[in-house]
């Protein structure tokens, strides 16, 4: 199980004083009855699991174990010439780069504007060479990057356009941007409408889709017990998001001389990095496929509207003192709430002291840029989920604004 995203939301356990309430950065977007449904699905054999109707209406969709599996599958199907260049919008998860490299491809970094999260067409043109075969644009933090201008360049140069929508599911009908060749959606643990794993690939070209299915057919299926173990882990971590229970656990583990951070970190630990491809090259079990379809069928659009309004309010309180990444986007939905700060450590300390588990930690990286000055390295993720009362959120905004300007 890939734990990097899970650990993100539990990174500061040991900072949580027993009696102080700490608002987590993220909450798992799944209810107990949905966790129970997934567990029950695991008790049936793959043949006995029925997919809900919603699954059948998604003609282009290939269900996968994750977005990373989908990307690996796509690259296996495409067999691009070794040494081909893939332009990545610069903020992504490191495994996407590793997968490209495993296929003998060379990642090239494309800057992202922190205010709008757009990529600039001129910058794309500047990076295209005779070796460019693909452009991968990630829609970050629940916002979308307009693809039309890039697609024109891509088409004129015979380059594939892939949209990485892992963070951008906002409806029960995930669609492919008509100008993109491929769209990838994730149902990983911390994602919107999580299925506790899984992804889907929407691929326009039928031949590529068929080739992907043929390759996937040779991959082993994830065992339903593997999925059940993952469900149990997420259930355990969700329990811990109950702050009273968490405080009890921290006290109990500490009483036995343990380290609560390590204890929880251990329970969320992922597979060893060297096993990455063995892990990714599996098909999802039927229970996971069914869960993806159920999460889409029961998708609550009202939650996205509420999240967008909440994020908008918070952004209005923080700006213009600090830059809220995506606030200049035409349709931000604030899946997470990243603020670009001059002194991010100070902002994190101030927020944590006040009981908000703000952090700079994320599973994302900047392609080909280690510099501490990059805007992404100045980002603080401020807790902003539906479980935080309005007044507390306003307090978080006030602290962020003050700490960011001092
Ligand atoms: C931008 C982006 N791309 C790809 C992924 C990988 O998704 P998955 O965990 O489904 O492989 C993530 C996961 O966080 C992501 O944020």
Domains of the chain: residue spans and CATH: 1-298 (3.40.640.10), 299-405 (3.90.1150.10)
Q: Phi and psi (nearest 5°) for 144?
A: -120, 150
Kindly state the DSSP code that residue 389 receives in the 8-state scheme.
-
The whole-model pTM stands at 0.91
Ligand 1 centre to CA of 40 (Å) is 26
Cβ-based neighbours of 382, under 8 Å, separated by 6 or more: 25, 314, 337, 338, 339, 351, 356, 358, 396, 400
Can you tell me the distance from the alpha carbon of 77 to that of 182, in angstroms, rounded to the nearest whole number? 13
Candidates 141, 166, 191; CA nearest to 314 is: 141
Candidates 235, 237, 233; CA nearest to 13 is: 237
Question: Looking at 116-181, which runs of residues are DSSP E strands?
Answer: 132-138, 160-164
Burial letters 211-226, b for 16+ CB under 10 A, else e = bbeeebeebebbebeb
Please list the alpha-helical segments (H only) found in 219-255.
Answer: 224-240, 243-255
Can you tell me the distance from the alpha carbon of 184 to that of 202, in angstroms, rounded to the nearest whole number? 6
Are 135 and 160 in contact by the 8 Å Cβ rule? The answer is: yes
Q: Phi and psi (nearest 5°) for 372?
A: -70, -15
- Residue 255: its pLDDT value, please? 80
Q: Phi and psi (nearest 5°) for 60?
A: -85, -5
Ligand 1 centre to CA of 320 (Å) is 30
Angle between helices 67-78 and 206-218 (to 10 degrees): 110
Please give the number of the atom of ligand 1 that sits closest to the Cα of 199. Answer: 10
Residue 191 backbone class (left: φ over 0; alpha: ψ -120 to 50; beta: rest): beta
Best residue among 7, 25, 67 to mutate for probing ligand 1's pocket (most ligand atoms within 8 Å of CB) is 67
Residue 47 backbone class (left: φ over 0; alpha: ψ -120 to 50; beta: rest): alpha
What average pLDDT values come out for the chain (406 residues) when binned by 10 residues?
Answer: 45 44 84 97 87 66 95 98 98 97 98 96 97 98 96 97 97 94 96 96 95 96 96 90 69 74 56 86 96 94 96 90 89 94 93 91 91 93 92 94 81
Question: Whose alpha carbon is nearest atom 13 of ligand 1?
Answer: 166
- Residue 256: its pLDDT value, please? 79
- Name the strand (E) or helix (H) holding 74: helix 67-78
Burial class (CB in 10 A: 0-12, 13-18, 19+), 312: middle
Ligand 1 centre to CA of 399 (Å) is 30
Is residue 369 reached through a cis peptide bond, with omega within 30 degrees of 0 on the bond before it?
Answer: no
Q: How many CB atoms lie within 10 A of CB 152?
A: 14
Between CA 217 and CA 103, with CA 65 as vertex, the angle to 5 degrees is: 75
Ligand 1 centre to CA of 5 (Å) is 9
Kindly state the DSSP code that residue 173 receives in the 8-state scheme.
S
Q: Which residues contact ligand 1 via a Cβ below 6 A?
A: 2, 5, 66-68, 92-93, 96, 138, 164, 166-167, 186, 188, 199, 363
Can you tell me the distance from the alpha carbon of 63 to that of 222, in angstroms, rounded to the nearest whole number? 12
Q: How many CB atoms lie within 10 A of CB 228?
A: 18
Can you tell me the distance from the alpha carbon of 283 to that of 279, in angstroms, rounded to the nearest whole number? 10
Best residue among 68, 69, 110, 362 to mutate for probing ligand 1's pocket (most ligand atoms within 8 Å of CB) is 68
Can you tell me the distance from the alpha carbon of 253 to that of 69, in angstroms, rounded to the nearest whole number? 36
Radius of gyration of the chain (CA): 21
Ligand 1 centre to CA of 138 (Å) is 9
């Amino acid at each position: 199980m890939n734990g990097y995203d899970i650990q993100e939301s539990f990174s500061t356990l040991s900072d949580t004083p027993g009696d102080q309430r700490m608002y987590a950065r993220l909450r798992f977007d799944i209810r107990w009855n949905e966790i129970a449904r997934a567990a029950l699905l695991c008790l049936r054999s793959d043949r006995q699991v029925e997919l809900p109707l919603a699954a059948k209406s998604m003609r282009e969709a290939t269900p996968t174990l994750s977005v990373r599996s989908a990307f690996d599958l796509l690259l296996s199907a495409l067999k691009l010439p070794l040494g081909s260049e893939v332009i990545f919008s610069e903020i992504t998860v490191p495994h996407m780069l590793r997968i490209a490299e495993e296929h003998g491809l060379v990642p090239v970094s494309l800057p992202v504007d922190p205010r709008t999260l757009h990529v600039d067409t001129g910058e794309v043109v500047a990076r295209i060479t005779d070796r460019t075969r693909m452009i991968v644009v990630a829609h970050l933090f629940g916002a979308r990057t307009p693809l039309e201008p890039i697609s024109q360049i891509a088409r004129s140069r015979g380059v594939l356009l892939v949209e990485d929508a892992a963070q951008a599911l906002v409806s029960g009908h995930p669609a492919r941007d008509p100008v993109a060749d491929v769209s990838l959606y994730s149902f990983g643990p911390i994602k919107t409408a999580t299925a506790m794993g899984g992804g889907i690939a929407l691929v326009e070209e039928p031949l590529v889709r068929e080739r992907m299915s043929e390759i996937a057919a040779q991959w082993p299926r994830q065992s339903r017990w593997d999925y059940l173990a993952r469900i149990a882990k997420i259930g355990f971590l969700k329990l811990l998001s109950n702050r009273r229970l968490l405080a009890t656990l921290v006290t109990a583990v500490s009483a036995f001389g343990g380290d609560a951070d390590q204890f929880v970190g251990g329970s969320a630990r992922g597979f060893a990095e060297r096993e990455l491809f063995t892990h990714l090259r599996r098909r999802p079990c039927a229970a996971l496929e069914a869960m993806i379809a159920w999460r889409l069928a029961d998708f609550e659009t009202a939650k996205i509207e509420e999240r967008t309004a909440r994020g908008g309010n918070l952004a209005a309180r923080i700006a213009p003192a600090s830059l809220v990444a995506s606030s200049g986007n035409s349709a931000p939905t604030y899946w997470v709430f990243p603020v670009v700060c001059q002194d991010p450590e100070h902002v994190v300390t101030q927020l944590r002291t006040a009981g908000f588990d703000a952090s700079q930690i994320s599973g994302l990286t900047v392609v080909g840029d280690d510099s501490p000055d990059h805007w992404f390295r100045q980002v603080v993720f401020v807790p902003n989920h539906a479980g935080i009362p309005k007044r507390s959120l306003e307090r978080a905004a006030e602290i962020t604004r003050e700490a960011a300007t001092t």
